[in-house]
Structure 1
Amino acid sequence: MTQFNAKSTTDDVLAGVDLSGKRFLVTGVSAGLGVETARALVAHGADVVGAARDLAKAEAATAEVREAAKAGGGSFEIVALDLASLASVRAAADKLIADGRGFDVVITNAGVMAAPFGKTADGFETQFGTNHLGHFAFVNRIASLIEDGGRLVSLASAGHHFADVDLGDPGFDRSDYDPWVAYGRSKTANILFAVEFDRRHRGRGVRAAAVHPGGIQTELSRHLDDGAIEALIEQINAAARAAGDEAFEFKSIPQGAATSVWAAAVADPAEIGGRYLEDCQVAGLANEGSGNRGVRAYALDPQNAKALWAKSEEMVGERF
């Protein structure tokens, strides 16, 4: 199999791949990685359902996706989904269940990063509620639509290095809010969700993996001023120097979406199931000196994953 890397793009990864007859669901198609992920898939013949909070914004942002679908023989449609509202999550899931068509792959791409303290419509801390709980409820509600042998690709981040989940205080009720700690918790949750979803569904051939797309300049950083981004990069580079790694480089959006597309359509499901992926490869375990590369052991811990699942069910008020 071709060995892809940090520089590989979506077009590199999908070269020669025909996705005709395959159906994908991608959340967060109003900007950045979500748009590029959808574009690459429809360009190779796939049928893609995109989900977005702001339908007008998504329609404008995905004009190129519709053009690629026409040229590539795929199709594209959008459904409304606000991950910060369980009512919206349930309405979107109900609509897809009523439609009844299955999906070969679900890619949970949407998210927020380093947001100031706030709460979702249901009273959850914004980042944990949007990045994790919204997707947790949505994916579990449509799990029956994922075809046997299908896949779930959960977008996480090297940001999971900032913090493990805190199941005793998920809403920062007893601790001071830190936007990066909150982001880290939510991204660790995205990985743990993939681990437990994979365990629960692998019996029917459905495999789940978590993906770190890399550092990309997208709308995700809208809550940060320039100084905050520069300070973060310097912190990452200091860790990289200590670990003997190369300095941080931003990826282009096609490079950033490549690992999602690789996991969704190219990688061996048996190799990626229950794992964390970066640069179109399965990542190794991180140690204290490994900078921001690799995956922290707590994010792959099966007991941690089960505990998060139980807490998440309690928080959203549903058992799956």
Structure 2
Amino acid sequence: MAGKFGATSTTDEVLEGVDLSGKRILVTGVSAGLGVETARTLAAHGAEVVGAARDLSKAMAATGRVRADAAKGGGLELVELDLASLKSVRACADALVAAGKPFDLVIANAGVMACPKGKTADGFETQFGTNHLGHFVLVNRIASLMKPGSRLVNLSSAGHRFADVDLGDPNFERAPYTEFGAYGRSKTANILFAVEFDRRHKADGVRATAVHPGGIQTELSRYLTPEVRQQLTDRLARINSANAAAGLPPFTYKSIPQGAATSVWAGVVAPAEEVGGRYCEDCHVAELVEGAEVMGGVRAYALDPEHAKALWAKSEEMIGERF
């Protein structure tokens, strides 16, 4: 299964011949980029997609092709969700639970990247609060809707290699803030959340995984200052140098359909036992690696089960809710 698709595979290639009629799928972040493409390809193969977005008018404008490409009974419903506000997250989750319609797949796609230091509505560091805590509350509150055979796919990033989570200082109250350091923490948290969610729910037939979509030029980079862009350029240069020394090809950006392919592969196509509790990239399960200046692979700290349990407990403490 892993060898059939790769870094250049697109969403439509991954889902070729797959009929998702009757499946109900939640995708967060459907107002741009990967979220729109993920929703489009799922609806085109028959899925009933519930798309969550902070700005519903923007999402409505961005998802015209999702509705146009929908087939075999597939379609799109939009719901409001601001991951930087737990009031909004809880309201969204409560409405979904009240509706009582189960999900076959949840794709936690939305997020922010390398933004200036700030706080969410609840006082959490923006990237950790939005990318991790917002999804942590949403997914756990709707977990009762995830029926046996369903999956959770958390969008992480190769950026998890920038930093492990710091459970003693999650809001950078003591450590100096860096845009990519905070991004790295949040992306590591996305993986650890999947690891622990998978452990807690696999006996009931519900699995979870985390994915790296690849390097894609989307609205995610809208917060990058010239200085931070230069940091990214320098890092890519070091990665390309390491790749060249290892006889590997240089880094290249993916198209949006290529970037969204791993999400739908892990959520629909790959065997659940293959991806459950794991980290995937380029439509395969990633191998463990050490070192930040490498292309591909996952750091061991992001898959550590005890670390995942500790993050879960810290997250519950921060949001004042237990699951």
- Tell me, in whole angstroms, the C-alpha distance in 2 between the residues paired with 1:208 and 1:242: 35
Q: CA deviation at 1:235?
A: 3.3
Task: Kindly provide the amino acid, as one letter, of the partner of residue 98 in structure 2.
Answer: A
CA contact (8 A) 1:239 1:289 kept: no
Q: CA deviation at 1:241?
A: 3.2
- Write out aligned runs for 1:50-61 (5 A): 50-61=51-62
- Write out aligned runs for 1:86-101 (5 A): 86-101=86-101
Task: Provide the residue aligned with 1:21 in structure 2.
Answer: 22
**Residues 289 and 115 of structure 1: is their aligned pair in 2 closer, same or farther, counting only changes over 3 Å?**
closer
Q: Look up the SS of the partner of 2:78 in the other structure.
A: strand
**TM score, norm. by length of structure 2:** 0.96
- Tell me, in whole angstroms, the C-alpha distance in 1 between the residues paired with 2:242 and 2:135: 31
Task: Provide the residue aligned with 1:256 in structure 2.
Answer: 259
Task: Provide the residue aligned with 1:207 in structure 2.
Answer: 207
Q: CA deviation at 1:72?
A: 4.4
Match of residue 240, structure 2, among 227, 237, 246:
237
- Write out aligned runs for 1:99-110 (5 A): 99-110=99-110
**Residues 269 and 235 of structure 1: is their aligned pair in 2 closer, same or farther, counting only changes over 3 Å?**
same
- Tell me, in whole angstroms, the C-alpha distance in 1 between the residues paired with 2:292 and 2:100: 48
Task: Provide the residue aligned with 1:38 in structure 2.
Answer: 39
CA contact (8 A) 1:161 1:292 kept: no
Task: Provide the residue aligned with 2:137 in structure 1.
Answer: 137
Larger displacement relative to structure 2 (45-54 or 242-251): 242-251
CA contact (8 A) 2:50 2:76 kept: yes
Q: CA deviation at 1:3?
A: 1.1
Q: CA offsets, 1:191-229, max 9 Å, x none?
A: 000000000000011110000000000000011245454
Q: CA offsets, 1:3-32, max 9 Å, x none?
A: 100000001100000000011000000000
Q: CA offsets, 1:299-319, max 9 Å, x none?
A: 000010000000000001000
How many pairs are equivalent?
A: 319
Whether 2:165 is the aligned partner of 1:165: answer yes
CA contact (8 A) 2:235 2:293 kept: no
- Tell me, in whole angstroms, the C-alpha distance in 2 between the residues paired with 1:160 and 1:211: 11
Task: Kindly provide the amino acid, as one letter, of the partner of residue 154 in structure 1.
Answer: N
Q: Which runs of 4+ in 1 moved over 3 A?
A: 225-229, 241-244
Unaligned 5+ segments in structure 1 are: none
Task: Kindly provide the amino acid, as one letter, of the partner of residue 305 in structure 2.
Answer: P
Unaligned 5+ segments in structure 2 are: none
CA contact (8 A) 2:21 2:72 kept: no
Whether 2:291 is the aligned partner of 1:274: answer no
Task: Kindly provide the amino acid, as one letter, of the partner of residue 133 in structure 2.
Answer: L
Task: Provide the residue aligned with 1:127 in structure 2.
Answer: 127
- Write out aligned runs for 1:175-190 (5 A): 175-190=175-190
- Tell me, in whole angstroms, the C-alpha distance in 1 between the residues paired with 2:159 and 2:297: 11
Whether 2:304 is the aligned partner of 1:305: answer no
Q: Look up the SS of the partner of 1:3 in the other structure.
A: coil
- Tell me, in whole angstroms, the C-alpha distance in 1 between the residues paired with 2:294 and 2:46: 39
- Tell me, in whole angstroms, the C-alpha distance in 1 between the residues paired with 2:108 and 2:246: 31
